[in-house]
Amino acid sequence: MNLKRFWILWGAPALLLASCASWSLDYIAPPVAKEDTALWRGRRVYLIDCTRCHSAEPVSDYTRAEWRDIMPEMIKDSRLTDEEARAVTAYVMRFARAEGGGGAVVKN
């Protein structure tokens, strides 16, 4: 493969990664144990289905009240199954920013 193609293929993703380096994946979407099935699936939906149109913002950027406003439209946009919708809603509610309080639930 010539050098130009190499950069077209790998340059953009590398830049993208570098620009996000200050946010670890675990900060954006805190990990959960696989045994915690619904939350575990919810995290996958958050990181995979919810990133089709935009990147994932840290879950803790929003309070539960804010997520309650945001989710219905986003779920519709994502064309999730009922089960996926329930899982991702449970997930963002679990890691939402504490109501009224500053600071994230999970700190890295």
Nearest distance, CB of residue 56 and ligand HEC, angstroms: 7
In the complex, the smallest distance separating the C-beta of residue 17 from ligand HEC, rounded to whole angstroms, is 21
Least distance in Å: CB of 4 to ligand HEC? 32
Q: Which residues contact ligand HEC (rule: CB under 6 A)?
A: 46, 49-50, 52-54, 57, 70, 73-75, 77-78, 88
Q: What is the DSSP string of the chain?
A: --HHHHHHHHHHHHHHHHHTTTS-HHHHS----TTSHHHHHHHHHHHHGGGSSSPPPPGGGSBHHHHHHHHHHHHHHHT--HHHHHHHHHHHHHHSBPTT--S-SS--
Nearer to ligand HEC, 8 or 70 (CB): 70
Shorter beta-carbon distance to ligand HEC: residue 36 or 63: 63
